[in-house]
Chains A and B, each alone.
Chain A
Amino acid sequence: MMTFLKKIRRLHPTTLFASLWLGALTFLAIFAPVLPFVRGYGERVKGAGRFKFGPGADFLFGSDALGRDMFARCVYGAQISLRVAASSIIVGLLIGGSLGLAAGYLRGWIDRVVSILVDILLAFPALIISILIVGRFDVLQANNEAFGWLTRTWSITFVLSLLSIAPIARIVRAQTLSLSQREFVLAARSLGAKNGRVIFREILPNLIPAMTSVVFTGIAILLVSEGGLAFLGYSIKPPSPSWGLLVSENRERLQEAWWATIFPCIMLFVTVLAFNIIGDRVARRFDIREAAL
């Protein structure tokens, strides 16, 4: 216990703050339905409509146009945004990571193919592709019985995963390349270890720090993307209170009811900041070399 506390004290204050924030947010997001001070995100309180209440004791972040609790909406918004960003980054990691690993370790034609693939993926204008795919999937779902399962959650996750693959592949490839030249890998190979073994026992464990950094920074980036898409109306549909959607639906009333727009913005900003801080710390701690510019 004492050593744990000592470790905490040795942490940089910003890291501490970031971890606390993310911890608190995750806790709220998971336990929101059972927490007594968090109302339902769709629950309309009588007399609180038309942004009646600003931030105060009863409504921590104020009330919105329909009398709903902005604090509750922000908390559930965390749930949605985090879930989507996290799942997308995992998928991106699995696919992009495998591609980068293969390219960096096996080299040769695999590397060339992956590199071209990555270049092409990176050339896609992210926003255009995102709204185009989500928009078309909407139409597909509406017009086709077979695609009834293709809700926005799936569309968004698909699109965000797609966009994460290339950057992740690049980073993993660069890391793998440098790791492959290290002595312990060369040693393992000279001992006759097969590729698979080398990858799993030597390379992969050493990739973990890079992966961790990528996951955190990646989630930060995806949160920003999802926020932008939600603002344009292309994320999970209402009444799901994604932060971007909260900004979009309340910004008309920015002047009179600033809390309904500013608080979701603060939530988004601080959360992205927190993920960035942790991602950055991990990268610095383990001296991750980023992909060549």
Chain B
Amino acid sequence: MRYLLQRIGQFIIVFVVVTFVVMCATRIGSKDVVRDLAGGTVGDEVIAKVEADYPYLDKPLVIQYGYWLKDMVTGNMGYSYAQSQSVIDMFQQRLPSTFFIGFWSIFLGLLIAVPLGIYSAYRRDGPVDRVASYSSFAFISTPPLVFAVFLLYFVALKIDTFPVLSNYIAPWDSPVEHFKNFFLPSLTLGLGLAAVWTRFLRADMILTLQSDFIMLARAKGMSPRRILYRHALRSSILSLITSVALQLSGLVGGAVIAEQFFGLAGIGTRLVFAVQQNDILVIQAITAVLVVVVVFVNLVVDLLYAVVDPRIRHARALG
């Protein structure tokens, strides 16, 4: 319990520091915050409106941050004057695309990594293991950029089924269209993830397979499959989930590239645009959401760990 409170406290500190630093960063070099917020070419009426909506823009940064935090907590994420769209609407419009890119990337990654990792550990140094090892290493070294180029060139441009310009189609509206539009972007990130997790799972499983309880199970005559999936995998699963959580933050960068290459209107492209325009509230809102998601996921995983394995909890607390 104490651990939980400690972690929540840490989460709050991290959130505040990160979002505050981002807010300060958006002010660097800015000559007129009001005009930045208002989106540039606007008449005095819009400037007046911005000043009315945000009367605290001339106050010290800490106070501005306080107001922003209060707004966020009460659900007012702000408004993008440059695009005449509230931030919440923007999320509604764009979050699904980015979410599904992330979701399917992780799904694909696990789909490939789990069987491959287990089998590689089981049949160590066998042909599958060697091929998987080398390819994993290669794929880990492949930037999402390069994946995107190759997928675009060899697949999208050559095979009609996959659109050059993707569209967001919800999976419940048309699973087939959804698949066609999201397969390549997810593959762009998913292959790299699969590589990381294959290696990880393999290493972890090799250790587990050497442990006593596995020897016992084999002695008892349990089938290999049962041993692998029911016993060995179980102990590795938490570490795998931790690794997934850790990769989450890097996924954002990859998602931006996938969105740019395949034309999906997601959070990533919106963010790049927002930085260009210094659309302050959008930048801060996206950062806040990302930090919350990543830190929250990590928190949940850590707690899961602590609950499941007291030894690990203590070891982690020690560092």
Contact = CB atoms under 8 A, between A and B. Distances in A.
> A and B: direct contact (Cβ < 8 Å)?
yes
A231 B258 CA distance: 12
Interface of A: 111, 115-116, 119-120, 122-129, 131-133, 135-144, 147, 173, 177, 220, 223-225, 227-228, 231-232, 244, 247, 251, 254-255, 258, 261-262, 265, 268-269, 272-273, 276-277, 280, 292-293
Q: Which interface residue of B15, B149, B291 has the most chain A CB atoms within 10 A?
A: B149
29 contacts: A116-B13, A119-B10, A120-B17, A123-B295, A125-B252, A125-B290, A128-B286, A131-B271, A131-B272, A132-B26, A133-B28, A135-B278, A136-B26, A136-B29, A136-B30, A137-B28, A139-B28, A139-B29, A147-B29, A173-B319, A224-B143, A231-B257, A232-B257, A247-B149, A251-B149, A261-B153, A265-B146, A265-B150, A277-B137
Given A127-B256, A220-B141, A224-B145, 15 more contacts: A124-B18, A125-B287, A128-B290, A131-B271, A132-B275, A136-B26, A136-B30, A139-B278, A173-B319, A227-B143, A228-B144, A247-B145, A268-B143, A268-B145, A277-B137
Contacts of B315: 292
A142 B249 CA distance: 31
Contacts of B165: none
B90 interface: no
Interface string B4-17: 00000010011101
Contacts of A223: 143
Contacts of A227: 143, 145
Nearest to A293: B242
A277 B18 CA distance: 34
A233 to B, nearest CB: 8
A135 B276 contact: yes
A276 B153 contact: no
Interface in B126-184: 137-138, 140-146, 149-150, 152-153, 157
B294 interface: yes
B31 interface: yes
A120 B137 contact: no
Contacts of B31: 143
B287 A128 contact: yes
A129 B25 contact: yes
Interface in B264-319: 268, 271-272, 275-276, 278, 283, 286-287, 290-291, 294-295, 315-316, 319
Contacts of B25: 129, 132-133, 136
